[in-house]
Structure 1
Amino acid sequence: MYDLLVRNARLLDGSGQPAFKGDIGIEEGRIVAIGDLANTDARHAIDAQGHIASPGFIDSHTHSDLTIALDGRALSSLTQGITTQVMGNCGVSAAPTRDLEPYHGPLDPAMTRDLTCDWTHFDEYFQRLEANGVGTNTATLVGHGNVRVAAMGYDDRPPTTTEMERMKALVGRAMADGALGLSSGLAYAPGPYAELEELVELSKIVGTYGGIYTSHIRNQTESIAEAVGEVIAVGEQASVTAHVSHMQPGSPMLGSTRDLLATIDQKRREGRDISCDAIPYTIGSTTLKSLLPPWALDGGDEALIRRLKDSETREKIKQDTLQHGAESGG
């Protein structure tokens, strides 16, 4: 006797074959039988006539890092059929933290205003999730923004030798704790301050663990080809799998996707493991702060506020933003 029997569903099993009618038998929370189970009994049954049953969806790009620590039910995912989510994208992850202060990047801190951060590294963060309970399977990348802030703050400069070693150690610690790879958010401070060499060196650490590198690229307008090329360069020079997150050209580069995909396809033919994804709608969403020039965010939010209070500097920020906008990224 099954604990639960789902009857008469249209089954899509994830193999690629067409949907077929069948039943699903479940015991102790696990699927133990699929097929024609009409002559079997169950403690509970659901008539799924007219409905589709499928494996849970995997959301490979989420930003639930902090919200799931606040409310582990993950209802916004579960109600969409998502049972596994990959967090830590766009250079923003739950760990490492600096002085128990989360790095929010482009995310709105108000969304987690009631959150108390009591972790520095991922092992402590994972322990909190396990203690609270989590509604979905979760995996995470380690955010480059977190790593840079923890090692050297929001300074617009190359890292010192000591700071670079600190960043490499933080990435290594994150991977040892269970992170899947490194993500960068090169449109969000302090991401724009990182040069290619920095990203390559950190990705080499990731590579020793079999991890990947993903990137929210520096811009998606006039210089998008160069930005995609930078991701490819990191993958090649660090010998890691590389992925371009939401590769969607904006004006005046609308229509350039064909050329960008051709570049990626060529690299794949050469044996490079390069890939990309796209948002399945015609707009994107981020914070207005990301439109500001990177120099305006040098030193963090408090430094930005001081600059905005100075009328001459504020006008310079305005003109720079109007001229370059999302092309500069900040």
Structure 2
Amino acid sequence: MKTTIAFGCAALSAGLVAAMLNAQGAPYDLIIRNARIIDGTGSPWYRAEIGVRGDTIATIAPSIPENAARVIDAGGQIVSPGFIDIHNHGRENIFELPTADNYIRQGVTTIVEGPDGGSAVPLGAFLDKLDALQKSINIASFVGQGSVREAVLGRANRRPTPAELDKMRGIVEESMKAGAYGMSTGLFYVPGAFTPIEEVIELAKVAAKYGGIHISHMRDEAFGVIDSVKETIRIGEEGGLPTQVTHHKIVGPANYGKS
């Protein structure tokens, strides 16, 4: 089952406010009063009250005269869309701590799993298991190129055979169909470090077919950082998909101040 995550968390965004202000219907289940709202659009915060029906924000207005079954006085604190942790390694911990208090208490409502070339494989089974879990946060995932390679070649330091490359393509394709948001690479780590760029590009092309993006912990963030940036750009260009450098930094005292 494809897991769909509402990345925007835009319930408070300007594009929806007008509709919310005009919402008509049953009495509110919840009203949040005395709130300072930061809506995620870049606009300054503003004071308003929020009316909720069921699990939907129905009204945002300077004042809501109606009452509700439950009223929360925000005490002038900030109310905003949930934050998104775009680089997370907690895929196993969520099954042990599904309430995810450590995230919720920081305002994080969505985490993005599978960075640095490492993810669950097969990813579809992992996402199905997540769908069945009663949890307090949304979870999205990339498919990790390193995990895909290890599933086919183990940790062998060699190029794949044509049949092995086809098998890796198949795993990436099934992962994208299952709901992956793209492919991650961790070319600094084993077995990603054993992967020639041509192999990465072939897998990136598969992710691109499904609108995926590529995020990369590059091969070298120290004295080889320029070549690594060029390699990452090439993966995006020849793979045909947007590409992000996961960690924008340069390692080592000799490189301080050069990032």
1:139 aligns with 2:140: yes
Deviation at 1:246, TM superposition (A): 1.2
Structure 2: runs of 5+ lacking an equivalent: 1-26
1:152 aligns with 2:153: yes
1:163-182 matches, cutoff 5 A = 163-182=164-183
The answer to whether the 8 Å contact 2:36/2:77 transfers is yes
Following TM superposition, where does structure 1 have runs of at least 4 consecutive aligned residues deviating by more than 6 angstroms?
none
1:79 to 105, 118, 122: 105
RMSD of Structure 2 on Structure 1 (CA): 1.2
1:254: which partner in 2? 256
Three-state SS of the structure 2 residue aligned to 1:175 is: helix
1:45: which partner in 2? 71
Deviation at 1:230, TM superposition (A): 0.9
The answer to whether the 8 Å contact 1:187/1:218 transfers is yes
1:30 aligns with 2:56: yes
For these two proteins, the number of residue pairs brought into alignment is 232
1:88 aligns with 2:114: yes
Cα deviation digits, residues 68-104 of structure 1 (max 9, x gap): 233322222211101111111011112x1xxxxxxxx
Cα deviation digits, residues 274-312 of structure 1 (max 9, x gap): xxxxxxxxxxxxxxxxxxxxxxxxxxxxxxxxxxxxxxx
**Percent sequence identity over matched residues?**
38
The answer to whether the 8 Å contact 2:51/2:64 transfers is no
Deviation at 1:123, TM superposition (A): 2.5
The answer to whether the 8 Å contact 1:142/1:179 transfers is yes
Q: Distance in 1 between matches of 2:208 and 2:74?
A: 45
The answer to whether the 8 Å contact 2:88/2:111 transfers is yes
1:4: which partner in 2? 30
Q: Distance in 1 between matches of 2:64 and 2:51?
A: 11
Three-state SS of the structure 1 residue aligned to 2:146 is: helix
Three-state SS of the structure 1 residue aligned to 2:255 is: coil
Cα deviation digits, residues 252-292 of structure 1 (max 9, x gap): 222222xxxxxxxxxxxxxxxxxxxxxxxxxxxxxxxxxxx
| TM-score when normalising by structure 2 | 0.86
Cα deviation digits, residues 162-190 of structure 1 (max 9, x gap): 11111111101100111011101111110
The answer to whether the 8 Å contact 2:50/2:57 transfers is yes
Q: Distance in 1 between matches of 2:63 and 2:141?
A: 38
